[in-house]
């Protein structure tokens, strides 16, 4: 069965649709592998054995009736900030530890309709606030390539599950890099679509103008299939775009001839250190070898991305998390009056990073500071988007690092500032709302080989171009296949 789990989502779906495999067989093999390995990895907060088996049985029935499903029988890991009816949904927070979702997020429902089988709900940084998955109040998740290192965050549980072959597709959410960074850390494709391309209905909000659902996969083809399944307008989400989705899975290409790829002048490689610098320089040469023309582009406001993001995102967080007050759902700490009950519930239910961001956001929105901080940050955000638009006048795609370091050891970045710097290369794309992904581009040796990701980004709605180019790079370089995780179907 280990060979079965090594298959890509596309391969599993082809075999299930052809009835060479059953969805039930794939599901049983995956559940057995999770039971054998997840105690070490810690990818899942909840394993949905009964729901997985029932869903697989229904998939097999649909196939027997002659249906062809694009993701038939594919094991799916769902980040635990997305609702799944009847399943505990916690955001890895004490304040929602006992809450059961009464409905299913649109993106999750679309993946199930496409034939996916939900294996479980995965760990994350609490309320998706973090870059390492260490901020979870409910468990520790480890990187399958080195169990002493982080898987990245905030979608670390979904990334670890896919890397460890405990799922074929992981659903993540990306606010400032929370799909792309764990993708890079776990040797995966981490893909954030254009803002509004995938419905946020049923995603528990962190920062509403930034949050976007996307897939974590082992191949670009799988990411394209997942995107095609989950993208599209949803009347239940006011930010969902009523624009036709161009299929991405049919736009995959074998080379980069005719493409101009921008290299950002402001993103210097020297601060990354010699090892990472060499990996990225090699990646740029590989792009050229595939036929791309590299051009110099400028993002003058890129250095303002972190400051801009850490005003806008906490401000929206402070507003969104006001609903967790101990009255309507989740944790309630009894007290003599409502105000004390609200205060004590939030003190007991929220972790340190969530409290920090709520306080930052509340301050930025407070009387006398709103114009000085929040409004100025929104103006800076407009400038970031303008810079990308100008850069794309000279190129088709932009290439740059996905992370500022390889996967680091658990506990190595204990201060908030060093953790916030992890998002330096990914935040500008989130502020601009454009699609971006991380694709494996090489390895650095820190006693064990550690994966590195190349970030590619495209203009709004250019997902087929972006995924097509990433597929050509992935197929030609095969970086993802050069090492296997220590905890996987090989184990």
Catalytic residue numbers, as ranges: 79, 154, 178
- Tell me the C-alpha distance between 184 and 435, whole Å: 16
Residue 368: exposure state from Cβ atoms within 10 A (0-12, 13-18, ≥19)? exposed
Burial group, residue 168, by CB count within 10 angstroms (0-12, 13-18, 19+): buried
Q: Are 133 and 80 in contact (CB under 8 A)?
A: no
Residue 347 corresponds to which tokens in the numbers above? 């003190």
3-state secondary structure of 156: helix
Omega prior to 154 cis, within 30 of 0: yes
Q: In this structure, what token pair is assigned to residue 50? A: 């009964």
Count other Cβ atoms within 10 Å, centred on residue 160: 36
What the block records as the tokens of 478 is: 């095969």
**Dihedral through CA 187, CA 133, CA 115, CA 210, nearest 10?**
-100
Contact, 252 vs 224, CB < 8 A? yes
Q: How far is CA 295 from CA 151, 258, 264, 474, in A?
A: 33, 13, 9, 21
Q: Tell me whether strands 44-47 and 169-174 are parallel, antiparallel or unpaired.
A: unpaired
E strand or H helix at 82: none
Q: What is the DSSP letter of 484?
A: -
Q: How far apart are CA 255 and CA 265, in angstroms?
A: 25
Closest CA to 43 of 192, 202, 188, 199: 188
CA pseudo-torsion sign 385, 205, 467, 272:
positive
Pairing of strands 293-297, 212-217: unpaired
DSSP letter at 204 equals P
Question: Which residues are within 8 A (CB) of 189 and not within 5 positions of it... i.e. 6 or more apart?
Answer: 183, 215, 216, 217, 218, 219, 220, 222, 223, 437, 438, 439, 440, 470, 474
Q: Are strands 436-445 and 189-192 parallel, antiparallel or unpaired?
A: antiparallel
Length, in residues, of the chain:
491
Helix (H) or strand (E) holding 57: helix 49-64
Beta strand residue intervals within 227-322, DSSP E: 260-264, 293-297
């Amino acid at each position: 069965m280990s060979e079965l789990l090594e298959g890509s989502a596309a391969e599993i779906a082809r075999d299930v649709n052809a009835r060479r495999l059953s969805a039930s067989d794939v599901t049983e093999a995956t559940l057995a592998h999770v039971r054998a390995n997840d105690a070490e990895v810690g990818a899942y907060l909840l394993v949905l054995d009964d729901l997985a088996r029932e869903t697989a049985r229904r998939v097999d029935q649909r196939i027997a009736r002659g249906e062809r499903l694009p993701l038939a029988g594919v094991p799916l890991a769902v980040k635990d900030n997305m609702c799944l009816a009847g399943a505990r949904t916690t955001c890895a927070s004490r304040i929602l530890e006992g809450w059961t979702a009464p409905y299913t997020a649109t993106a999750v429902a679309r993946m199930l309709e496409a034939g996916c089988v939900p294996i479980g709900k995965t760990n994350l940084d609490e309320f998706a606030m973090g870059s390492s998955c260490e901020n979870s109040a409910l468990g520790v998740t480890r990187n399958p390539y080195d169990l002493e290192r982080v898987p990245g965050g905030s979608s670390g549980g979904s990334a670890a599950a896919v890397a460890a072959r405990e799922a074929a597709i992981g659903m993540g959410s990306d606010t400032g890099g929370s799909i792309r960074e764990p993708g890079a850390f776990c040797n995966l494709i981490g893909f954030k679509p254009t803002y509004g391309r995938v419905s946020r209905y049923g995603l528990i909000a962190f920062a509403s103008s930034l949050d976007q659902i996307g897939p974590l996969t082992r191949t670009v083809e799988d990411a394209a299939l997942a995107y095609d399944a989950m993208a599209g307008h949803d009347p239940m989400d006011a930010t969902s775009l009523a624009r036709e989705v161009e299929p991405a899975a049919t736009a995959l290409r074998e080379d980069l001839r005719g493409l101009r790829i921008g290299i950002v002048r402001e993103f210097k490689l020297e601060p990354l250190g010699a090892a990472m610098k060499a990996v990225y320089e090699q990646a740029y040469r590989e792009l050229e070898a595939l036929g791309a023309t590299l051009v110099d582009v400028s993002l003058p406001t890129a250095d303002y991305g972190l400051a801009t993001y850490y005003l806008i995102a906490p401000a929206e967080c402070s507003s969104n998390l006001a609903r967790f007050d101990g009255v309507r759902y989740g944790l309630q700490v009894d007290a003599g009056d409502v105000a004390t009950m609200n205060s004590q519930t939030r003190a007991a239910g929220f972790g340190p990073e969530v409290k920090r961001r709520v306080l930052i956001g509340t301050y930025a929105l407070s009387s006398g500071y709103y114009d000085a901080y929040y409004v100025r940050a929104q103006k800076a955000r407009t400038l970031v988007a303008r810079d990308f638009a100008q850069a794309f006048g000279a190129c088709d795609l932009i290439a740059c690092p996905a992370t500022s370091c390889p996967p680091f050891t658990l506990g190595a970045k204990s201060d908030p500032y060093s953790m916030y710097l992890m998002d330096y290369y990914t935040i500008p794309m989130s502020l601009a709302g454009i699609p971006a992904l991380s694709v494996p581009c090489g390895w650095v040796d820190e006693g064990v080989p550690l994966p590195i990701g190349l970030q590619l980004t495209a203009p709004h709605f250019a997902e087929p171009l972006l995924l097509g180019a990433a597929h050509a790079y992935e197929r030609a370089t095969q970086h993802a296949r050069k090492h296997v995780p220590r905890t996987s179907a090989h184990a």
